[in-house]
């Protein structure tokens, strides 16, 4: 069930009214059942995996709190969670690398590839579980006595498939608090959902038509076309993932739950790649900061150690995104950007001129877009093809038909609003406008979805992670 599908609309239409009809003490059980049903619809057999992961992690949390052999329990639980990720996400990649090594040494050994379909959302709920266990281990929070609360923390349906990677200290108290039907929750929820769907259906899916047409056949396109597609992919990924997050946050608001903010207008307001990472996929970046960087590197450390921390954090981020050298290289590139920026003090100056700020924003966008080529292209051979085309000298532009025109209109709206919103979210920003402006905005967005949206478009890109 995709957020932008008819079955999900029916699911939501049933779940929301029932949630408010269910007595307070059963609300979380109801929400958990609905979340499991939602996940069951994605792929029934992987619900068993989620249930097993929940049980093992809860048991680990219980043992961690008892205080006996805490470190052993932590290592076991981390091994379990990382083992799950490894088994389902990285095993075939690892086997492939081993086969390559065997081949180089002319050993007659071949490990067959396993037929494994990546369980949707495994990277997200596994990280949430690891975060929860580490919080208990460090004594930052106590284990929740209620198994349902812990299960709901991992399985809450608006965030299970693609995040944001929530924190127990923020989410669980909201599940515990008395849930009351509030107008504000609904108005803000619908605003976020509408804005998210607009970004997904009008911008991301229309851009996807162009980007796919170019990158699926890069050698047949011109230099200019491939350069344009490179930049448009950056916008597509942003519109797709931030669109998903907005819809997820909007749905959660319908139940009175505030999910973590995941994007703060990264493309139009970032003045450096460091700034970009403070604004883009915040839940993952902050997770790595809190559970990898600080524990391993600390806060007041030397430059070299800091750089090692950045490298570790982004290499892990690359691996988290997918099993492949392209993702690892992407992580490495991000780390290099950040280290170089730190060395050259880029983006640290205050009170810069408008021109300097604009230049920084543009160069940040270009650097990020180039890095994202490693994200988009499946193999190094594809990247070489794209590089060859870019190094060429053909300047006729593939226009891509009507989808690109519609995407451009939508993208202009998104970037314009992002520019004005800066660190605010859409619901906060539009909520402060006069009634007529608000309704004009809602109706324009809705009609644009109907008229120019790619309604029968693609799945969310981050489902593959």
Question: Which stretch in 106-114, 276-284, 358-366, 451-459 sits in contact with another protein by CB under 8 A?
Answer: 451-459
Query: Contact at 8 Å (CB) between 283 and 260?
Result: yes
Nearer to another protein, 23 or 434 (CB): 23
Among 75, 100, 138, 181, indicate the residue that binds another protein (CB under 8 A): 181
- Indicate whether 435 belongs to the interface with another protein (CB under 8 A): no
Interface characters, 308-337, with another protein (x: CB under 8 A): ------------------------------
- Indicate whether 105 belongs to the interface with another protein (CB under 8 A): no
d(CA 263, CA 261): 6
Residue closest to 169 by CA, chosen among 204, 214, 138: 138
Name the phi and psi angles at 344, rounded to 5.
Answer: -95, 5
Site for another protein in 205-244 (CB under 8 A): 219-220
Name the phi and psi angles at 165, rounded to 5.
Answer: -75, 95
- Indicate whether 343 belongs to the interface with another protein (CB under 8 A): no
Question: Which stretch in 16-24, 256-264, 284-292, 313-321 sits in contact with another protein by CB under 8 A?
Answer: 16-24
Among 69, 356, 451, 459, indicate the residue that binds another protein (CB under 8 A): 451
d(CA 50, CA 120): 10
- Indicate whether 186 belongs to the interface with another protein (CB under 8 A): yes
Task: Locate 187 and state its tokens.
Answer: 């108005």
- Indicate whether 384 belongs to the interface with another protein (CB under 8 A): no
Nearer to another protein, 25 or 345 (CB): 25
Query: Contact at 8 Å (CB) between 403 and 201?
Result: no
Question: Which stretch in 140-148, 154-162, 268-276, 446-454 sits in contact with another protein by CB under 8 A?
Answer: 446-454
Site for another protein in 387-416 (CB under 8 A): 402-403, 405-406
d(CA 14, CA 193): 17
Among 338, 452, 460, 461, indicate the residue that binds another protein (CB under 8 A): 452
Of the residues 26, 221, 281, 321, only one is catalytic, namely: 321
Among 428, 455, 459, 464, indicate the residue that binds another protein (CB under 8 A): 455
Task: Locate 47 and state its tokens.
Answer: 């619900």
Question: Which stretch in 15-23, 62-70, 227-235, 358-366 sits in contact with another protein by CB under 8 A?
Answer: 15-23
Residues in the chain: 465
- Indicate whether 29 belongs to the interface with another protein (CB under 8 A): no
Verify whether residue 221 is a known catalytic residue: no
Query: Contact at 8 Å (CB) between 262 and 164?
Result: yes
Nearer to another protein, 119 or 457 (CB): 457
With a CB cutoff of 8 Å and minimum separation 6, the contacts of 380 are 325, 326
Residue closest to 39 by CA, chosen among 23, 50, 53, 30: 50
Q: How far apart are the first and last CA of the chain?
A: 17
Examine residue 164 and say whether the peptide bond preceding it is cis (omega within 30 degrees of 0).
Answer: yes
d(CA 405, CA 194): 21
| Site residues, another protein (CB under 8 A) | 5-7, 20-23, 181-183, 186-187, 190, 219-220, 402-403, 405-406, 442-443, 446-447, 450-456
Catalytic positions:
321
């Amino acid at each position: 069930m995709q957020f932008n599908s008819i079955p999900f609309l029916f699911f939501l239409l049933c779940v929301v009214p029932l949630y408010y009809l269910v007595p307070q003490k059963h609300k979380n059980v109801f929400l958990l059942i609905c979340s499991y049903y939602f996940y069951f619809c994605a792929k029934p057999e992987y619900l068993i995996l989620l249930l097993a992961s929940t049980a093992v992690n809860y048991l680990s949390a219980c043992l961690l709190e008892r205080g006996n052999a805490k470190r052993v329990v932590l290592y076991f639980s981390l091994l379990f969670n990382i083992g799950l990720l490894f088994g389902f996400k990285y095993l075939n990649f690892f086997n492939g690398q081993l086969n390559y090594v065997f081949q180089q040494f002319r050993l007659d050994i071949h490990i067959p590839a396993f037929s494994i379909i990546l369980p949707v959302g495994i990277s997200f709920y596994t990280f949430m579980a690891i975060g929860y266990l580490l919080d208990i281990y460090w004594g930052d929070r106590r284990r929740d006595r209620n198994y349902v609360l812990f299960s709901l923390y991992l399985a809450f349906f608006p965030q299970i498939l693609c995040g944001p990677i929530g924190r127990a200290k923020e989410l669980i108290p909201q599940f515990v608090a008395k849930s009351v039907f509030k107008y504000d929750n609904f108005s803000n929820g619908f605003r976020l959902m509408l804005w998210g769907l607009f970004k997904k259906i009008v911008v991301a899916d229309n851009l996807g038509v162009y980007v796919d047409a170019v990158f699926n056949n890069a050698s047949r396109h011109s230099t200019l076309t491939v350069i344009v597609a490179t930049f448009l992919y950056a916008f597509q990924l942003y519109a797709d993932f931030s669109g998903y997050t907005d819809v997820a946050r909007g749905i959660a608001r319908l139940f009175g739950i505030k999910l973590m903010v995941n994007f703060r207008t990264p493309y139009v307001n970032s003045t450096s790649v460091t700034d970009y990472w403070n604004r883009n996929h915040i839940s993952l970046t902050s997770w790595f900061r809190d559970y990898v960087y600080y524990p391993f590197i600390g806060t007041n450390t030397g430059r070299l150690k800091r750089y090692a921390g950045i490298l570790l954090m982004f290499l892990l981020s690359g691996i988290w995104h997918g099993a492949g050298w392209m993702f690892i290289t992407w992580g490495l590139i991000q780390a290099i950007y950040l280290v170089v920026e730190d060395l050259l003090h880029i983006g640290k100056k205050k009170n810069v001129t408008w021109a300097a700020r604009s230049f920084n924003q543009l160069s940040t966008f270009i650097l990020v877009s180039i890095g994202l080529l490693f994200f988009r292209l499946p193999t190094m051979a594809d990247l070489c093809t794209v590089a060859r085309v870019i190094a060429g000298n053909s300047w006729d532009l593939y226009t891509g038909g009507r989808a690109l025109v519609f995407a451009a209109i939508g993208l202009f709206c998104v970037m314009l609003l992002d520019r004005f919103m800066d660190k605010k979210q859409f619901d906060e920003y539009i909520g402060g406008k006069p009634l007529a402006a608000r309704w004009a905005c809602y109706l324009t967005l809705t009609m644009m979805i109907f008229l120019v949206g790619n309604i029968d478009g693609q799945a969310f890109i981050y489902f593959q992670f």
